[in-house]
Structure 1
């Protein structure tokens, strides 16, 4: 991590958050929000490229992760706190508005920022995860009906099994997850339904699957060592608020009017069950541009960093340069 910017602790929304920064203070600010189970370190390939292009880059280890605060109550990890953390970082840095860019769970969070804090947003970038309008039914009820109790999001609700399994062997977790997809999306969609259930606990117990790692041993150790200290419960608590988030955003308009970019990972099995991503977004996102990195699996910014950087920089320079 010698070339990765060190963090400083920033007080926001009642907790301390470790924030990594790069680029000029007068640059257009862009906040990079990582997913599960990741860190700001997941953006190590994007931070220098964005900073070199003149953007002010702000990459937090979000609530529950790394050296950032880890409140005990599950409700402390709801979408209102997760978005308020980001706004509090802007306040602490004296920034009025920023572009918010998120991958995986970070994507779910940043798409909600213009709904909950519209006055603070210049633009939105979703990496891998599209804007998902509020569903008519509690998503956990839907997931349980579609995929059963072993689907990881459902499993996270019902027990601490995942916390215990993941905490016991953090290196194994990342050795299992940080790999290229072992099967093409087309072949995956042909599998029997029971073989497409995303049971992360089972996957970790089974050990590394076929497929090349997308990170070096040194990079994998950064994740494993950090989670070995901080644990997985805080990050898993994000999932335990899915029903609460749904219930408490009932009055939020499902409309985004700031410029938005969506970068799809063409071989991401995690979003395979969501049909017509771009078409569904277009009805809710007024100013939307979409791109695809066809061969990328889920960990898009680490697997195809140069391709993603080219898309990000092209859009950012055209819209905010």
Structure 2
């Protein structure tokens, strides 16, 4: 894994103690530049997901900070499910800002990283200067906890629900099929087909004929495979097992996000757009790229262009 990181010039990691844990952090650019930007990966990913964005942001004067969040890579792992709720995840990031002596920063999140970015902003609005979300829009906190709602409308095999209702099942299968699962998951240009019966994630772990085209090279994929072979999947899946707890923790948060925000969708992504986004995020700009879920890895140049142009507008 280290050889591919060195070959592409990916930053070397530093282990940073924050919030009573350790985070594996990759950083580039000058700390005193006054333009901190924190990139948050999704599931099942790694800081390496942002390999195409780091140099472009550094060239634009940003101090780029890319943590492996708790449960990922060489950051701290815990057996307790509650250790991965949004309070812990948000406090890790606040402590990371404190470590670098930043009052606030720009946050960019993809997938689960986007969810954390939205919720961090709700819980600690003074620590988020502006935000960019990829793939996952703001989630409205309705009258019912999220897993309960999903189970009724999406069924027991929907992976959010399955992870919660059948703890340990998916963890074991993914741990036993790390390469197969990630090789089948990180795909693009996937043809539209009727959903298969059963839990989609488990199907991916055993499928012999992956659909679509690979998002990355085998050398790049090896970074993700190596990380999850070492850590296992339980810590990262436990993020999903806190969804209803997060619903309760966000009960008293002001649901309106006032910060300037950019929402980037993938036109081919199965995650739907949120047509009412501006009701909750009034200062949002929405952009769509012709790609699937792995936006910044599928369309790195286009993603960088959209991000840098938007950031320039905010600075002007």
What is the TM-score when the length of structure 1 is the normalising length? 0.93
Instruction: Assess if the C-alpha contact under 8 Å between 1:147 and 1:197 holds in 2.
Output: no
Structure 2 unaligned segments of length 5 or more: list them: none
Distance 1:57 1:155 in 2: 35
Instruction: Assess if the C-alpha contact under 8 Å between 1:263 and 1:292 holds in 2.
Output: yes
3-state SS, counterpart of residue 240 of structure 1: helix
Distance 2:281 2:13 in 1: 33
Spell out the pairing of 1:239-254 with structure 2 (5 A cutoff).
Answer: 239-254=240-255
Partner residue, 1:8: 14
1:286 paired to 2:282: yes
Tell me: CA distance 1:196–1:287, structure 2 relative to 1, closer, same or farther (3 Å).
Answer: farther
Equivalent position to 1:37, from 32, 44, 48:
44
Instruction: Assess if the C-alpha contact under 8 Å between 2:257 and 2:280 holds in 1.
Output: yes
- Alpha-carbon shift at residue 55 of structure 1 (Å): 0.8
Root mean square deviation, CA, Å: 1.4
Partner residue, 2:313: 318
Partner residue, 1:302: 297
Spell out the pairing of 1:92-241 with structure 2 (5 A cutoff).
Answer: 92-157=99-164, 158-184=166-192, 191=194, 195=196, 199-241=200-242
Instruction: Assess if the C-alpha contact under 8 Å between 2:191 and 2:211 holds in 1.
Output: no
- Alpha-carbon shift at residue 204 of structure 1 (Å): 1.5
Instruction: Assess if the C-alpha contact under 8 Å between 1:13 and 1:84 holds in 2.
Output: yes
Distance 1:198 1:212 in 2: 22
Partner residue, 2:23: 17
Instruction: Assess if the C-alpha contact under 8 Å between 2:258 and 2:283 holds in 1.
Output: yes
Tell me: CA distance 1:152–1:181, structure 2 relative to 1, closer, same or farther (3 Å).
Answer: farther
Q: CA offsets, 1:80-112, max 9 Å, x none?
A: 111111111010111111011100000000011
Instruction: Assess if the C-alpha contact under 8 Å between 1:83 and 1:113 holds in 2.
Output: yes
